Chain A
Amino acid sequence: MLEFLVQRALISVLTLTLITLAVFTGVRLIPGDPARVLAGTDADEAGLEEIREKYGLKDPIPVQYLRWVGLLLRGDLGESIRTRESVARIVGLKLPITLQLAAYALLIALLIAIPTGVYSAVRRNSAWDYLASGLSLGGVSIPNFWLGIMLILLFSVRLGWLPASGYVPLSQDPRGNLERMLMPAFVLGAALAAVLMRQTRNSMIDVLGADYIRTAYGKGLSRRVVVFRHAIRNALVPVVTIFGLQLGALISGAVVTEQIFVVPGFGRLIVEAVFTRDYPLVQGVVLLTASAYVLINLLVDVAYSLLNPRIRVGGGAR
Chain B
Amino acid sequence: MTAARAEAPAAAAALPAAGLVPAGRRRGRAWRRLVRRPPALAGTVVVLFFVGLAVGAPWIAPADPDRPDWSQIRKPPSTAHPFGTDDLGRDTFSRVVWGSRISMRAGVLSILLAMAVGVPAGLASGFYRGTLDQVVMRLTDAWLAFPFLVLAIGLVTLLGPSLTNATLAIGLGATPTFLRLTRGLVLATREEDYVQGARAIGAGDLRVMRRHILPNIVSSLLVQATVSIPAAIIGEAVLSFLGLGVQPPAPSWGTMLNTAQQFLEAAPWMAWWPGLAIFLLTLSFNLAGDGLRDVLDPRDY
Contacts and interface: CB of A to CB of B under 8 A. Distances in A.
A11 interface: yes
A249 B144 CA distance: 11
Given A143-B238, A259-B242, A274-B156, A252 B257 contact: no
Given A141-B283, A256-B241, A149 B145 contact: no
Interface in B95-137: none
B158 A26 contact: yes
B153 A282 contact: yes
Nearest to B281: A141
B268 A157 contact: yes
Contacts of B279: 141-143, 146
Interface string A20-58: 001100100110000000000000000000000000000
A11 B238 CA distance: 32
Given A15-B142, A26-B158, A146 B257 contact: yes
Contacts of B139: 18
Contacts of A286: 146, 150, 153-154
Contacts of A256: 149, 238, 241-242
Interface string A144-171: 0110011011000100000010000000
Interface in B225-272: 230, 234, 237-238, 241-244, 257, 260-261, 264-265, 268, 271
A140 B230 CA distance: 10
Given A146-B278, A149-B271, A157-B265, A248 B138 contact: no
Interface string A221-253: 000000000000000000000000001110110
B142 A260 contact: no
A11 B149 contact: no
A14 B139 CA distance: 9
A145 B238 contact: yes
Interface residues of A, number: 48
* Most chain A Cβ neighbours within 10 Å, of B141, B147, B264: B147
A152 B147 CA distance: 27
A26 to B, nearest CB: 6
Interface string A279-318: 1001001100111011001000000000000000000000
B54 interface: no
Given A259-B242, A286-B154, A15 B286 contact: no
A252 B238 contact: yes
Nearest to A191: B234
SS class of chain A's interface: helix, strand, loop or mixed? helix
A26 B145 contact: no
Given A143-B238, A143-B278, A255-B149, A137 B142 contact: no
Contact of B261 (A26, A260, A294): A260
A143 B237 CA distance: 8
Nearest to B227: A140
B119 to A, nearest CB: 21
Contacts of A69: none
B16 to A, nearest CB: 17
A138 B138 contact: no
Interface string A250-282: 011001100110000000001100110101001
Q: Which of A251, A252, A270 has the most CB of B within 10 A?
A: A252
A271 B242 contact: yes
B153 A293 contact: no
Interface string B44-79: 000000000000000000000000000000000000
Contact of B275 (A11, A146, A251, A255): A146
A260 B271 CA distance: 13
Given A282-B157, A294-B141, 17 more contacts: A14-B141, A18-B138, A18-B139, A18-B142, A137-B287, A140-B286, A142-B279, A149-B257, A149-B275, A157-B268, A248-B147, A271-B153, A271-B243, A277-B157, A286-B150, A286-B153, A290-B145
